[in-house]
Amino acid sequence: MGEFDLIARHFTRPVRRAALGVGDDCALLAPRPGMQLAVTSDMLLEGRHFFPDVDPEALGHKALAVNLSDLAACGAEPLAFTLALALPEADDAWLAAFARGLLALAEQHGCELVGGDTTRGPLAICITAFGEVPAGQALLRSSAQVGDDLYVSGTLGDARLALEALQGRIALPEALLARARQRLERPNPRVALGLRLRGLASSAIDLSDGLAGDLGHVLRASGVGAHLVAERILELIAIKPYLSSADGQFEPDFLLQRAVSGGDDYELAFTAPPAARAAVTEAARQAATPVARIGQIEAAPGLRVVDAAGRALRQAFPSFDHFA
């Protein structure tokens, strides 16, 4: 199978919204009048972002999901994406499974594959996704206000617990590992929620490197600080109710660390004024996405994790950095 057979067989699909898809030197996109294009790229490398033996269907899903999560964080509606792929070999069965996972998620979000590049090399996947957002309405990191509530969607920490279990650093019962592993390998981009938060959230970001680090970007961009309530965050670990309290591995401090500093959650963290609480609840209901209020924006810079009495915990919460 040559390069062009490979592209034709696995990555060429008829386009519906784009003016031109795979097959020419450029794809052509026509955003609707009054809309801005939201553009984002994410790269996944073997050994760095996924294990060499990862299920190719899950990998296809995740490669697009992490990009759709960025569009969601901006309140953009997915439109199209390109796929740059380096492959050690043209393995037809592997490619078919990868394309299945990729294109199923693409279909679910009406996001079309319109082009890309394919070369031989160590396995690497780089997707650039394009979305549409009404001019001036994109959700940004830079506009959180003092007094705003701080929210997060879905669950936190499960992806990190799965990673540590797969690395053999902790032991999880099989059923719990399977559940946590879904969160690591098949994140669910919160696109519907992002769309409903337009005009409602004062700021938003998606969580890829861990809540503390990603929230830090919002706080610095907005020139504010925040506190997070530890108890509320612990409740967001999906597998926590099933972890035996007799198991010394899973002390509250340990779990809090995974939820606050662990990466790969691909949830949305966002802020909104207290007057918007009912509207946020309604947006979450309409998007069929759980949302929890976990803290508040404050004037004092920095991020504090506090106990139920409001006392700051002394634990440090580092975040992931490829070059740190």
Report the interface residues with ligand ADP, using CB under 6 A: 7, 11, 22-25, 83, 85, 113, 115-118
Q: How far is the CB of 69 from ligand ADP (least distance, A)?
A: 20
150, amino acid identity = L
Polymer length of the chain: 324
Binding at 110: pick from Mg ion, ligand ADP, none (beta carbon under 5-8 Å per type): none
322, amino acid identity = H
The verdict on 3 binding Mg ion (CB under 5 A) reads no
Q: How far is the CB of 296 from ligand ADP (least distance, A)?
A: 44
Closest CA to 305 of 216, 236, 212: 212
Which residues in 8-37 contact Mg ion (CB under 5 A)?
none
Strand ranges across the sheet with 124-134: 35-45, 124-134, 77-87, 112-120
Strand-strand pairing, 203-206 and 225-229: unpaired
- Alpha carbon distance 8, 204 (integer Å): 38
Q: Quick check: 30 and 122 in contact, CB under 8 A? A: no
Token look-up 């309140």 returns: 75
Q: Among residues 3, 89, 117, 251, which is the contact residue for Mg ion, using CB under 5 A?
A: 117
Residue closer to Mg ion by CB (options 107, 117) is: 117
The verdict on 231 binding Mg ion (CB under 5 A) reads no
Q: How far is the CB of 132 from ligand ADP (least distance, A)?
A: 21
Q: How far is the CB of 11 from Mg ion (least distance, A)?
A: 13
Closest residue by beta carbon to Mg ion: 117
Q: How far is the CB of 96 from ligand ADP (least distance, A)?
A: 14
Token look-up 């938060």 returns: 197
Q: How far is the CB of 119 from ligand ADP (least distance, A)?
A: 8
H helices of the chain, in order, are 3-11, 56-73, 92-108, 158-166, 174-185, 191-196, 211-222, 230-234, 252-261, 277-286
Residue closer to ligand ADP by CB (options 28, 175) is: 28
| Among 7-15, 67-75, 117-125, 290-298, the segment contacting Mg ion (CB under 5 A) | 117-125
Residue closer to Mg ion by CB (options 117, 282) is: 117
Interface contacts to Mg ion, rule CB under 5 A: 117
